[in-house]
Amino acid sequence: MKRRLLFVVTEDWYFCSHRLALARAARDAGYDVWVATRVDQHEQKILAQGFQLVPLQMERSSLSLRSQWRALRELTRVYREVKPDIVHHVALKPVLLGAMAAQRAKVPAVVNALAGLGFVFASESLQARALRPLIRMWFRRVLNRGNARLILQNPDDVRMFIDNKLITAERIVMIRGSGVDVRHYHVLPEPQGKLTVALVARMLRDKGIVELVEAARLLHSQGRNVRVILAGGLDELNPSCLAEEEIRAWEREGLVEWWGEVEDVRTVWAQAHLAVLPSYREGLPKCLLEAAACGRALLATDVPGCREIVRDETNGLLVPVRASAPLARAMWRLLEDEERRARMAQASRRLVVEEFSQEKVTIETLALYEKLLINS
């Protein structure tokens, strides 16, 4: 009988962008793959893979106790009905609630995967600061039970979890991101024409978009007319989401082009000389990995996640977080030096192929499944 693997992800688009390749590999390795998620636009894409789909009502943005209780009950019911041999939770809310539901439903093996720590740990808002101690307490309660492992994507997050005694070290596995298909994301020639930087991400304040716009404004004031592409949709369920009118105002000012959601980001990198992500905190940013695979120099903030893929002065530059002036200087330094960019672009591609390929991540994750199932 096939072993049953259940992915639990808040949004169907995120499953398709970050876990679809892993799920295919698990299917090909003989697993019966199920996906529990909030269904929006990707139902047919998931079903076409031969996966079983379980629609969830779980609300990613709601913080009320009533909604958390409903989500916990819903997940417990799903686990008891599906009866997975192993469940793979992806992102903060599925980990926090799913780990407890898995205990209640007696799921034999559990993988808890955090792709960064999100709004609660990146934001300095009162709401985020108030939630952090509660989240840490909940981590201690649910992560150290049963036949379970926690996947983290960078050593900074590993140290944070261990130093804060949120989980014992032997329960942590570091798997670096969701991997990049280095055949699909192949090296692209640099474009001709106006010097262009691009940011591919959801339109969230904690991606450093405001600082990027301020950097562009500063360069324009110096007579350095740089083209800035923002590629990504709004995520109104995220507290950090920018207002559409704010982005449109930047467009009218001539500071950015907002492309919205882009189906194939290779079309972005085909028009950009440089990839930028001035984020406040990441797990391991897939947008930078894809840009690197396409042969682009990288510019990012010196924060967890970003510094895993951006090796300062080797394949890109790291700058201080929440600071537009250093960002502007680094942007111009790379844009005006074609030879430096070319060297960094080659180093980016080499790094992704050697350390961050989809095949490597898949092999490591499937090996973790097998280890947990042997112990179940």
**What's the CA gap between 328 and 225, in Å, rounded?**
12
CATH number of 196-355: 3.40.50.2000
The reply to whether 196-355 shares the fold of 4-179+357-375 is yes
Tokens 């510019």 locate to 299
**CA atoms within a 13 Å half-sphere pointing along the CA-CB vector of 181:** 13
Helices (H), the chain: 12-18, 20-28, 43-47, 65-82, 92-105, 118-122, 126-142, 155-163, 209-221, 244-252, 266-269, 286-293, 306-309, 324-335, 338-355, 358-375
Reported pTM: 0.89
Q: What is the DSSP letter of 115?
A: S
pLDDT at 170: 96
pLDDT at 283: 87
Point out the residues of the chain with pLDDT beneath 70: 60-63, 117-124, 128
pLDDT tens for 258-311 read: 999 999 999 999 999 999 999 999 989 999 999 999 999 999 999 999 999 999
Listed residue (200, 202, 229, 224) closest to 213, CA to CA: 229
Residue 107, φ and ψ in degrees, nearest 5? -70, 130
pLDDT at 345: 98
**What's the CA gap between 185 and 271, in Å, rounded?**
14
**Number of Cβ within a 10 Å radius of residue 335:** 21
- Domains of the chain: which residue ranges? 4-179+357-375, 196-355
User: What letter represents residue 239's amino acid?
Assistant: P
Q: What is the DSSP letter of 91?
A: S
pLDDT at 66: 82
pLDDT tens for 216-229 read: 999 999 999 899 99
**What's the CA gap between 182 and 185, in Å, rounded?**
5
pLDDT at 121: 65
pLDDT at 238: 86
pLDDT at 373: 96
Q: What's the CATH class of domain 4-179+357-375? A: alpha beta
